[in-house]
């Protein structure tokens, strides 16, 4: 597990973050404890519209001429459909396109497809992948476990229709996600393993996933979990914001579909997992403990990237920081690692 010294180092707020806080220009939390739902959604949509564009401009030198995209729908249970954005190469790789499913952040209440537009385009550009960026239904209109059910239905549909989608899962079949989307990726990894999904998943990319809140952490690991105290008042996503998300999503904390750390059949046999972790994040230690268990106790291949002093979901609100561009490049490099290749960025 991360030592006391390591956790203290990770928690120490980055000077750039401190300067933004001091001069009053740091963004407000994603949601405040007493905030109206519509107000929170309006504010998040405004921030998403502005910041995704600003962040993408740092990648204007990329050649996206081989990247095509279109909006579509995916069938789910109950004769319903959910929106998705399909990205694919105009000219696919000679050996076929890996298949990637991506899920966005937002505490299961906020966010949208645009959040993950940039990494999805980069996955096509660098790996010739077929990528589905999925908009699961959100709380409070559709509380837990709706998002999990939507994600699982979508994944099974992708697996069944890979050939028609001109994807080659033998080249890689990855589920990826950020924050809440990273939670979904981990849950789907376990469901796919337990049900023997065919074709099988070959990797998971989990960017800042909520995996286990402190109260649900097994006692033998709680001594290594301090981020619930260190980052209780962290910017962007403090403890109050997480309580706001839970009040709307109404998750079952005893369910492995929300706390996959406590999956009843354990974590043996999962595919390789790439984890991205923020140092000044209340969720941090659940991720660090999980990675160490996977790597040291189970022999699962892992790739861990930590952003010391950075708050949860910083890249989506602070595109001007160099760490935000680094996080996106690291997502691409992690995907390359999962696909068995070399880093696209050095």
Q: Enumerate the active-site residues.
A: 179, 281, 312
Distance CA 187, CA 81 (A): 21
Contact 227, 282 (CB under 8 A): yes
Residue listed under structure tokens 């960026």: 133
Q: Which residues of 302-318 are buried (b: 16+ CB within 10 A; e: fewer)?
A: bbbebbbbbbbbbbbbb
DSSP conformation class of 252: -
Distance CA 344, CA 338 (A): 12
Q: Which tokens hold the place of 301? A: 């291949």
Distance CA 98, CA 88 (A): 10
Task: Compute CA distances 144 → 48, 79, 191, 256, whole Å.
Answer: 24, 19, 16, 12
Distance CA 234, CA 28 (A): 11
Taking alpha carbons only, the member of 246, 202, 236, 166 closest to residue 340 is 202
- Biggest alpha carbon–alpha carbon distance for the chain: 54
Cβ contacts of residue 329 below 8 Å, gap of 6+? Answer: 344, 345
């Amino acid at each position: 597990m991360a030592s006391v010294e390591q956790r203290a180092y990770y928690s120490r707020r980055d000077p750039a973050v401190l300067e933004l806080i001091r001069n009053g220009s740091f963004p407000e939390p994603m949601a405040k404890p007493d905030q109206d739902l519509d107000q929170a959604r309006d504010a998040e949509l405004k921030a998403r519209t502005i910041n995704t564009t600003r962040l993408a401009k740092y990648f204007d030198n990329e050649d996206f001429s081989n990247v095509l995209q279109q909006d579509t729908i995916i069938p789910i249970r109950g004769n319903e459909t959910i929106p998705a954005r399909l990205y694919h190469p105009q000219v696919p790789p000679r050996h076929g396109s890996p298949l990637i499913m991506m899920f966005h952040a937002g505490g299961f209440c906020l966010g949208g497809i645009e959040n993950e537009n940039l990494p999805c385009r980069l996955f096509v550009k660098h790996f010739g992948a077929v990528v589905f960026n999925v908009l699961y239904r959100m709380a409070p209109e559709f509380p837990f476990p709706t998002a999990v059910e939507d994600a699982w239905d979508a994944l099974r549909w992708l697996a069944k229709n890979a050939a028609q989608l001109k994807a080659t899962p033998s080249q890689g079949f990855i589920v990826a996600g950020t924050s809440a989307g990273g939670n979904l990726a981990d849950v789907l990894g376990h469901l796919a393993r337990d049900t023997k999904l065919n074709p099988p998943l070959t990797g998971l990319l989990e960017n800042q996933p909520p995996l286990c809140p402190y109260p649900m952490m097994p006692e033998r690991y709680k001594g290594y979990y301090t981020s619930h105290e260190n980052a209780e008042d962290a910017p962007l996503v403090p403890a109050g914001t997480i309580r706001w998300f839970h009040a709307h999503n109404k998750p079952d904390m005893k369910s492995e579909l929300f706390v996959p750390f406590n999956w009843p059949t354990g974590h043996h046999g999962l595919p390789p997992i790439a984890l991205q972790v923020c140092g000044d994040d209340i969720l941090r230690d659940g991720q660090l403990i999980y990675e160490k268990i996977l790597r040291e106790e189970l022999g699962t291949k892992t790739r861990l990237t930590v952003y010391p002093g950075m708050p949860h979901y910083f890249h989506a609100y602070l595109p001007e920081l160099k760490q935000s561009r680094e996080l996106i490049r690291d997502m691409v490099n992690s995907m390359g690692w999962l696909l068995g290749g070399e880093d696209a960025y050095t």
